[in-house]
Amino acid sequence: MNKFFLFTIMTVLATTVLFQSCTKDDDTGPEEFIATNDTFKDFSAWTLGGELQGADPALGGAHGGNDSTVTRSVYFKSDVVPVGGLYPLGAVVVKYSHNTGGDLNEYTAMVKRGGDFDPTNNDWEYFMLAGDGQIAVDENGNEMRGANLMNGMCLSCHVKGKSSDYIFTQR
Ligand code: HEC
């Protein structure tokens, strides 16, 4: 009798949990992290994951890679680390490229947006930032962000790092 009672309770509990998790998925879909200006605030105080100096022919003109005096600093928010080879939802990486002449100040970022944002490319969103960490705005007033930012230019390179979740800088 007791055993049967326990079994009934367990079954009801299990069904409830199963039902709730199903309805949750149906209602909201996979979780998504949508970056705002606040996301990049104070990035220069984050974990410095790497600092590269000098030109890199593989970069061409991207990230100041054709400038022998360039420094490329890569910051990881909240010490994010990949789990099972994949960065977690909400992971933010900012790269600041600058040169000694002071005429190069380029801020780019990648955010693990998740959801169904860009499933074939691990759901990263690419950004151009203004110097103050705000999302840059183009001449039409649109925020410079997206999976295919600059007609897919960012992605065309970062896809080569697919085996390390589109991130090149090893921490
Ligand atoms: C020509 C290839 C190329 C293009 C185009 C490119 N990147 Fe990168 N990116 C790299 C490489 C290589 C690194 C690794 C660090 C380095 O070598 O400077 C990197 C590093 C980064 C990082 C730091 C994380 C990491 O992967 O190490 C961010 C953030 C980033 N890029 C964003 C962007 C964004 C946003 C764009 C488009 C506006 C872009 N990149 C375009 C090649 C490229």
Instruction: Express each pLDDT in 40-65 by its tens digit.
Output: 999 999 999 999 999 999 898 899 99
Ligand 1 test: best mutation among 81, 87, 104, 108, most atoms within 8 Å of CB? Answer: 108
Ligand 1 pocket residue status of 144, Cβ below 6 Å: no
Closest approach atom of ligand 1 to CA 108: 35
Single-letter code of the amino acid located at 94: V
Smallest CA-to-CA distance from 76 within 66, 65, 87 is with: 87
pLDDT at position 18 over 60: no
Rounded distance from Cα 125 to ligand 1 centre (Å): 13
Rounded distance from Cα 48 to ligand 1 centre (Å): 15
Ligand 1 test: best mutation among 163, 168, 170, most atoms within 8 Å of CB? Answer: 168
What confidence tens digit (pLDDT) does each residue in 103-158 have? 999 999 999 999 999 999 999 999 999 988 999 999 999 999 999 999 999 999 99
Which protein residue's CA is at the shortest distance from atom 21 of ligand 1?
A: 95
Give the burial class of 94: count Cβ atoms within 10 A of its Cβ; 0-12 exposed, 13-18 middle, 19 or more buried: buried
Query: What is the average pLDDT score of the chain?
Result: 88
Ligand 1 pocket residue status of 95, Cβ below 6 Å: yes
Q: Is the dihedral of CA 123, 108, 149, 55 positive or negative?
A: negative
Smallest CA-to-CA distance from 128 within 154, 103, 102 is with: 154
Ligand 1 test: best mutation among 96, 158, 165, most atoms within 8 Å of CB? Answer: 158
Closest approach atom of ligand 1 to CA 167: 26
pLDDT at position 24 over 90: no
Rounded distance from Cα 63 to ligand 1 centre (Å): 7
